Amino acid sequence: MLIARPDKTHVLEIHQMSMEEKITALAFQGLANRNGANVFCKAKFWNWPGSDEFWIGYLTEKKGFAFEEIGSLPDLVERYPGAAKGLVVWDPRIDQTKWIAVAMAGVHDLLPVAPECVSRYGDLPVCECLQGRFASEIEAAEWSVKSILPQCDRRIGYSIERAWSGATIDSLDYAVQNSSFVYCLNHTGNGKSGPRETQLIHEILSRIGPNAPIFGWGEPEDAYCEAISFHDNYVMCAEAPNLSFWKHVPCRRTDWTQPARKDPSSFVLQKKHYIALCTSEGDTPKMAVSVEGGAWLDPNRGNVPVNWGMNPLHLDLFPAILEFYWDTATENDYFMGGASGAGYTYPNRMPNPEAWMKQVGEYFRRADMHETDAWMHFSRPVYELYAKLSGIRAFAMPCGPFGCTSLNGGEAVAFFRGNSGLNYFDSSGSPRDLAEQIKRHCWQRNAPSFSVAHLVPDSRNNPTSQGGWNPTLFVEVRELLGDEFRFVTMQEMSELAIRALREGACPDCHAPGYSEWDPPQATR
């Protein structure tokens, strides 16, 4: 049983640690947080470094948390005797042993450490030493799949990738907390070990799930997501700190009705170009944890309709995070699904998508969400099935021709933006750039028309991020466009598009049997 001070949450600064020390710190956070929200790490996560201080303030004021800074990782370990039963020492010469050590940490309650750090935790015995046990990376990875994977929780997986932002270790605390298998392999088949590596990836993914989240990340994105989809699982892009902490933050909300949802009879179809501004990447915990890259705190939020990507899986995984957004949303803040729905996958690549589609529908109903991005090939049978089994009202797809088409007997609609120039619109662009692109796209069409702009949210005051968009910029875009254009929630746009399709009032909308081409999968 862990011995923790019930009146304090301990805070550890990790943002200046080496990657190796971060691995140890995050693994211990996962162990210490198994029985409560005991440890919070200040990661200064690149998506919005201010999120640490923001959440500490919010949790203090709204949830009654009290936080205490801890000077070092060894000091933190001392505060939780029994959280780690001993050490597992990785081999610096074989990178795979780091991830083996992390997986063993989750299974056997061990602290993964580099050899030179053993003495820092003098009271903890070395229970496993991986030094000198493997001659190559692939040998270590194959041993891990054979020996460690069977002991892990098969309802979750975790993939390590060395992305442009660094190794995707930000959520290792959650992997350890939940005894996840952790792997680091090349998803293209072009790695040093070639076919052996590819075969190993598919063996791992076939033994997790089905219908399970794979946290972490992999590159290239399309190959990574396809491999996961092939095994009826889905991606949870987890460059997000403190997920093991958020798992235990209490949530009081039981009613998840969206503040921005309106009576559909109040919507009036006019000869306008309807635009839904959709911020994503809503499938990812990183956006929820980073307060939408800081954009949620923009002073002009609420002055223009914005469709915020949100993952309803958080209702069970991290409900207090969703509670914050629902509690603070205005009547112009609308929530829709991120890439694909509840979890990111390519539905047309899943051998058996039915169970996943039904699960998506269940989560969307619970969260009062009715529309989603759907990242798939232009495959009508798949999204017809998706609409039928999930009950989702509208899909926005980064593929296909202009306009929209009706689905599910006219009860749902699909919008296509692949050739609009509005899919992942330039994160460094100006409001005038976005306004001009919307005009160029809509001038090719007759009103009423229905278009989706997909944009990454950000405060624009964050030099470490990829850049992005916020409500202040959207207000300026609206002023540049004029009265011919109307920004709307996805609810309003889908209801009006369905009405226009039924009435034949949309010149650029397509009949139910419309099909055209099957372009490549869209990626970030």
Indicate the SS3 state at residue 437. Answer: helix
Mean pLDDT along residues 425-444: 94
Task: Give 36's pLDDT tier (boundaries 50, 70, 90).
Answer: very high
457: left (phi over 0), alpha (psi -120 to 50) or beta: beta
Short-list 456, 427, 459, 428, CA closest to 279: 456
Phi and psi at residue 67, to the nearest 5°:
-115, 145
The tens digit of pLDDT for each residue in 242-257 reads: 999 999 999 999 999 9
CA 60 to CA 54: how far, in whole Å?
A: 10
pLDDT value at 511 more than 60: no
- Compare 40 and 521 and report the one with higher pLDDT: 40
Please report which confidence band the pLDDT of residue 521 belongs to, taking 50, 70 and 90 as the band edges: very low
How much is the pLDDT for 377? 67
Instruction: Give the per-residue pLDDT at 462.
Output: 83
Distance of CA 186 to the CA centre of its chain: 21
In sequence order, which residues have a C-beta less than 8 Å from that of residue 418 and are 6 or more positions away?
A: 378, 397, 398, 399, 400, 519, 522
Nearest Cα neighbor of 502 from 385, 401, 412, 415 is 412
What does the pLDDT read at residue 378?
A: 65
Helices 431-442 + 471-481 axis angle, to 10: 50
What are the structural domains of the chain?
9-246 (no CATH), 270-503 (3.20.20.490)
Q: How far is CA 53 from the centre of its chain?
A: 21
Which run of H or E residues covers position 42?
Answer: strand 39-42
How far apart CA 268 and CA 272 sit, in angstroms, is 11
DSSP state of 519: P
Going by pLDDT thresholds of 50, 70 and 90, the confidence category of residue 515 is very low
Confidence of residue 517 (pLDDT cuts 50, 70, 90): very low
- pLDDT category at 370 given cuts 50, 70, 90 is very high
Higher pLDDT, 93 or 239: 93
Checking if the pLDDT of 401 tops 80, the result is no
Confidence of residue 26 (pLDDT cuts 50, 70, 90): very high
The Cβ of residue 474 has, within 10 Å, a number of other Cβ atoms equal to 26
Angle (CA) 417 418 423, round 5°: 70
| 152, pLDDT greater than 80 | yes
- Residue closest to 509 by CA, chosen among 425, 363, 407, 439: 407
The enclosing H or E element of 62 equals helix 51-63
State the average pLDDT over residues 304-325: 97
What is each CA distance from 271 to 37, 332, 449, in whole angstroms? 52, 22, 8
Residue 513's pLDDT band, with cuts at 50, 70 and 90, is very low
**Whether this model's pTM surpasses 0.85:** yes
- Listed residue (319, 303, 307, 247) closest to 276, CA to CA: 307
